[in-house]
Amino acid sequence: MSVFQGEVSTLPPDKSISHRAALIGALADGTTEITNFSGGYDNQSTLSVLQDAGISVRQESLAAGDGRIVRHVVIESGGLWSFRQPLAPLMCNNSGSTMRMMAGILAAQPFRSELIGDASLMKRPMKRVADPLRQMGAGIALSDSGTAPVVITGSRELKPIEYHLPVPSAQVKSLVAFAALHVDGLSKIIEPVRSRDHTELMLGLETIDRPDGVREIIIDGRRPLAARPFSVPADPSAACFMIALGLLGERSEIVLRDVCLNPTRVAYIEVLQEAGAGLGIENVRSEGGEPVGDIVVRSCSSLRPLRISDHGIVAGVIDEVPMLAVLSAFASGEFELHNAAELRTKESDRIDALVVNLERLGFDCEQYPDGFVVKGRTKSNTEEVEIECYDDHRIAMSFAIAAEAAGALLRLSDRQVAGVSFPNFFTLIDTLRQ
Ligand code: S3P
């Protein structure tokens, strides 16, 4: 295993915050300046969909004070009703966030529109999008299997909603909030299991945390939404891959700068610390309403196997499960996950994708409807192993890190897909390699 060392100030800007900054900019009245917008394909899909729906978007590269080149996005909008009927179906590519959150906005616009995606996105569940929007009075048509194309007959007369989230999903929460911003009245979202809360923070929504742990989010559609600037911190879900690299590497030490440390995003750090990982957090401060800081990771000679089953923790680490599973398998030989059926509805069926590829690497695995277990490595490969990426950036990147630890040559079926969230992923690994 190689040695990985260095300081990283070039992690990709957070994907979730970038999407929201662009969408909120399009909904707000005035000019929205976004500093450090992500160049990942998913976030670029949000910008192109906004442009195709009539919003003015300008993107430029600027030199930051420390010599880095950062993307600066400027969005001009006249507010909630500035969208125009698209001339063709809106192409969201691989981005579930773009499709789902845009659906909430388009449901409130007085025209017909259609959202489509790539082969992976066209298989993902959209009934969770249609249900609340239909309750609010929009017309939503899906395929017979409840997937895209999402055909929207929007209405300027949507009704307020009180919506209990049936699955912990920040995308569904956000699309309801975006639709409710257009409604003449108060709406409420009830969230039994916490998901990432960037939308609430960025819109300044009122939230009530009940004693039973349930959160209520209040949206007052009569409040004006004025444009404000956003600055996007580094993506903690991208940081997770570099953390795994540092933990698995020999005599390694990596410092990851300016990472978003929002508690709804960094549950994986606690999970790793509890398993004995050498991880430190430094220089914590608040920027634009989000906690931000530096993460220091050092090689770890022994990591206890990760076992994840609590519903709240599963929701908190949902995007990091692929990397955590692969890391735990290589560091300890074992991994166990339950109550995570949601993982089957991501960019790929991640339970199946992880099991298929870990088995190819010689691990003994068993999958259940809502999880899987890795029981040990029964054979170490010496020959080349083909890894199937299933159009899924997180599967590709998790096994690219595994390739460093596997002691065998791993051939990824698709390296490019990493660019969905982390365009400089492979160059960064090479920069850190000593
Ligand atoms: C996201 C929410 C999560 C996450 C996805 C990004 C977001 O999806 O998996 O990568 O930015 O709101 P769900 O809302 O489907 O849980």
For 188-238, the pLDDT digits (tens) are 999 999 999 999 999 999 999 999 999 999 999 989 899 999 999 999 999
State how many domains the chain has.
2
Do 266 and 396 fall within a single domain? Answer: yes
In a domain, 1, yes or no: no
Do 213 and 263 fall within a single domain? Answer: no
Residue 220: the pLDDT is 97
**Ligand 1 centroid from CA 120, angstroms:** 15
DSSP state of 324: H
In a domain, 228, yes or no: no
Residue 97 CB–ligand 1 contact under 6 Å: yes
Do 73 and 209 fall within a single domain? Answer: yes
With a cut of 80, say whether residue 50 has pLDDT above it. Answer: yes
DSSP state of 305: P
Mean pLDDT along residues 347-368: 98
Do 89 and 192 fall within a single domain? Answer: yes
Supply the residue whose CA is at minimum distance from atom 16 of ligand 1: 169
Do 299 and 212 fall within a single domain? Answer: no
**Ligand 1 centroid from CA 196, angstroms:** 8
Do 263 and 155 fall within a single domain? Answer: no
Do 143 and 208 fall within a single domain? Answer: yes
Kindly list the catalytic residues. 319
Peptide bond into 110 cis (omega under 30): no
In a domain, 3, yes or no: no
Q: Which residue segment(s) compose the domain that 94 sits in?
A: 15-220
Specify the residue for token string 């692929």: 322
Residue 318 CB–ligand 1 contact under 6 Å: yes
CATH number for the domain spanning 246: value is 3.65.10.10
Q: Quick count: other Cβ atoms within 10 Å of Cβ 28?
A: 22
Residue 196 CB–ligand 1 contact under 6 Å: yes
Specify the residue for token string 């590519």: 93
Supply the DSSP string of 332-349, one letter for each residue.
HS-EEE-S-GGGGGSSS-
Q: How sure is the predictor about 146, in pLDDT bands with cuts at 50, 70 and 90? A: very high
In a domain, 211, yes or no: yes
Specify the residue for token string 């912990």: 168
In a domain, 8, yes or no: no
Residue 120 CB–ligand 1 contact under 6 Å: no
Domain end, chosen from 220, 243, 259, is at 220
pLDDT digits (tens, 9 = 90+) for 241-254: 999 999 999 999 99
DSSP state of 78: E
In a domain, 189, yes or no: yes
Do 209 and 285 fall within a single domain? Answer: no
In a domain, 260, yes or no: yes
Supply the residue whose CA is at minimum distance from atom 10 of ligand 1: 319
Which ranges constitute the DSSP H helices of 336-382? 350-360
Residue 66: the pLDDT is 80
**Ligand 1 centroid from CA 50, angstroms:** 19
